Amino acid sequence: MRDIFTYLLEFDESAIADTSWVYKLSADLWQPQEDIRIIGFSLQIEMCAFVQVDGEATAYTELSQSGLWNKPGILGRARAYAEYRSLLGAQEIRIYSTEWMHKMFPAGFSVPIAEGGNLYIHCQYMTSDVGHTYSLGTKAIIYYVKGK
């Protein structure tokens, strides 16, 4: 029997929204100091925006072996999406969306990561309204065993 270990990658940010994609590459990084085999992961993305007009917001997070967005080595991606409609007379409304993705590989299957290899979480965010405040958070819980 082999022991199962966990590792947490996470990133949080508050910023002013833009109508073009905002990328946060390598928002967090793990460089294992020994050979490991990933047997599963949980990936979460959540966003909160404070808006005054109608629109929508989308956020993605990606767990990857690559330091670049949408390149070979992606283990998983989660998306949070929200549409919002202003309320008559409302000064500001808060929208919130969160999504989880869970993946456990079948027995005998895993993703090998050599000592000194990298695991990243990347984030991407866009909204149809510019200038409002938003917060973005992402977490990846890695389940792994040690050794080749």
Domains, in order of start, for the chain: 5-146 (2.60.120)
CB 56 within 8 A of CB 81: yes
Q: DSSP for 110-142, please give it.
A: -EEE-TT--EEEEEEEEESSSS-EEEEEEEEEE
- Average pLDDT, integer, range 106-115: 94
Least confident stretch, 85-89, 97-101, 124-128: 85-89
Closest CA to 73 of 115, 35, 38: 38
- Rounded Cα gap, residues 70 and 87, in angstroms: 37
Cα angle 96, 8, 101 (rounded to 5 degrees) comes to 50
pLDDT for the residue 38? 96
pLDDT given at position 6: 97
* Model confidence pLDDT, tens digit, residues 23-59: 788 889 999 999 999 999 999 998 887 766 677 778 8
Alpha-carbon gap, residue 58 to 107, rounded angstroms: 34
Instruction: Compute how many other C-beta atoms are within 10 angstroms of the C-beta atom of residue 94.
Output: 9
Kindly state the percentage of the chain with pLDDT values over 90. 42
CA 83 to chain centre: 20
